[in-house]
């Protein structure tokens, strides 16, 4: 572990320590129970967003062989494909430069830079 990471961990523990000590004086708190309640609450929120009263039944999905072949070939292509990021710094920059003069034909601009 790097020294900075060690220091961060130490500071984190230092912050948590008083809370942990104060919690130990309360009734035992079942963190697993809290986690389950939290998941339950989130599940309820998702269902209410979807305007459902209960989770939908899971459906058996059948995929045709044609789709599986397409899926496999796409996956193989992605595995063999070169990364999209340019490999050299030269490839990174544009090779054409277009110049557009933005100074209009206003009387004040005439003759400048000529
Ligand atoms: C797709 O790939 C999987 C795993 O590589 C293989 O088991 C399966 O037979 C392939 N399916 C088709 C239709 O090519």
As a whole number, the mean pLDDT across the chain is: 74
Domain positions in the chain: 30-54
Closest protein CA for atom 3 of ligand 1: 72
Report which ligand 1 atom has the smallest distance to the Cα of 72. Answer: 1
- 103: Cβ contacts below 8 Å, ≥ 6 apart: 109, 112, 113
Hey, what are 82's tokens?
Answer: 């070169």
Residues near ligand 1 with C-beta < 6 Å? 65, 68-69, 72
Greater model confidence, 82 or 70: 70
C-alpha to C-alpha distance for 57 and 27, rounded to whole angstroms: 39
Q: What is the pLDDT of residue 69?
A: 95
C-alpha to C-alpha distance for 35 and 42, rounded to whole angstroms: 11
Q: Rounded to the nearest whole angstrom, what is the distance from the C-alpha of residue 78 to the centroid of ligand 1? A: 15
């Amino acid at each position: 572990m790097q020294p900075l990471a060690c220091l961060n961990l130490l500071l984190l523990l230092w912050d948590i320590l008083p809370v942990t000590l104060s919690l130990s004086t309360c009734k035992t708190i079942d963190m697993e129970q809290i986690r389950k309640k939290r998941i339950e609450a989130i599940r309820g929120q998702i269902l209410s967003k979807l305007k459902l009263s209960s989770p939908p039944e899971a459906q058996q999905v059948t995929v045709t062989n044609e789709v599986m072949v397409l899926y496999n070939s796409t996956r193989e292509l992605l595995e063999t494909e070169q990364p999209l990021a340019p490999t050299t710094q030269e490839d990174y920059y544009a090779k054409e430069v277009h110049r557009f003069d933005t100074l209009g034909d206003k009387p004040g601009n005439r003759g400048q830079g000529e």
